[in-house]
Structure 1
């Protein structure tokens, strides 16, 4: 899933978000949600609330839960909101207009780091983390593309006015000279 970065200068919010699901996935999700609602309505309308029939109602409710689960799987996406003005952030799990996630306070932004995790198939996944309050961090982004990870990390570090660390080489972490990197178009490290 691809990510994008949004900065709203009016309320000083930074959003790192997955792109909207493709139309075909949203259509499939709506079909699952519709089927779940119809199945639930049918179950409740035709229910015989006797003790003998409660097992059948329970099985039908279980079917509704499965249909809703498939609908959620085809429609959810994640976002991270950073409220720069109030030093808060939250990670959300979003399904349509519903956003689940709690705000957490950050006392002291320190730096952004980019590092990679080797996967079992031999590929690497790059992660961008926001470090704060000495040794705490928040994972902002994961992607297979180093360049995209660096651009997200760079933009976040610029907006928060903090340093950026290239930790993609194990035991050889280097601070990035943001100004020189921007001017030359190549990665330039601080000495």
Structure 2
């Protein structure tokens, strides 16, 4: 029997936009078409020269299609169990999901920062310099609000690392 675990913090990315799902469907369809052609020319028509071309096309373009299909259809959910200090990253594509579990000793603080591309990311730090990359955001306010919510739920400190070399601890008592 499967054990049901209650998670203290559950963060769901949400659903994809309709145009992302449409693009994913196009990429998946292209992949299925290439697989069908490869099987047809390899086993039904038995044309070696065309089979080799179809197989090479499947390897090159099929890999591209399946990767971008996953990129446009996958969502990431983050589950944190405070009692056992377990972080579960759940990647979901339609009805299928894949869990990546990370066991940590103790959560230390949450930080938000600006990367070299102008996006804002959030990290959950544990055991001195080890961290878990959570999400990226388009603007600073969204990253700040997300990091603040996580730090409040986990009852840990919050670090503003948006300015390189000028890190600032944020006092949460003044924000309430």
Q: Residue 40 and residue 172 in structure 1: after superposition, are their counterparts in 2 closer, same or farther (change >3 A)?
A: closer
SS at structure 1 position matched to 2:163: coil
In the comparison of the two structures, how many residue pairs are matched? Answer: 169
Unaligned runs of 5+ in 2: none
Aligned match of 2:149 in 155, 164, 169? Answer: 155
Provide the residue aligned with 2:80 in structure 1.
82
Judge which range, 100-109 or 16-25, deviates more: 16-25
Matched, 1:107 2:105: yes
Provide the residue aligned with 1:15 in structure 2.
10
Unaligned runs of 5+ in 1: 1-9, 183-191
Q: Residue 35 and residue 125 in structure 1: after superposition, are their counterparts in 2 closer, same or farther (change >3 A)?
A: closer
Q: TM-score, normalised by structure 2?
A: 0.77
In the TM superposition, what are the counterparts of 1:45-64 in structure 2 within 5 Å?
45-48=40-43, 54-62=51-59, 63-64=61-62
- Flag the structure with higher helix content: 2
Q: TM-score, normalised by structure 1?
A: 0.72
Question: Cα RMSD over matched residues?
Answer: 2.7
SS at structure 2 position matched to 1:154: helix
Q: Are the equivalent residues in 2 in contact too, given 1:36–1:67 (CA < 8 A)? A: yes
Q: Residue 87 and residue 51 in structure 1: after superposition, are their counterparts in 2 closer, same or farther (change >3 A)?
A: same
Take 1:144 and 1:72, find their aligned partners in 2: how far apart are those partners?
21
Deviation at 1:98, TM superposition (A): 2.9
Aligned match of 1:131 in 113, 125, 132? Answer: 125
Deviation at 1:125, TM superposition (A): 2.7
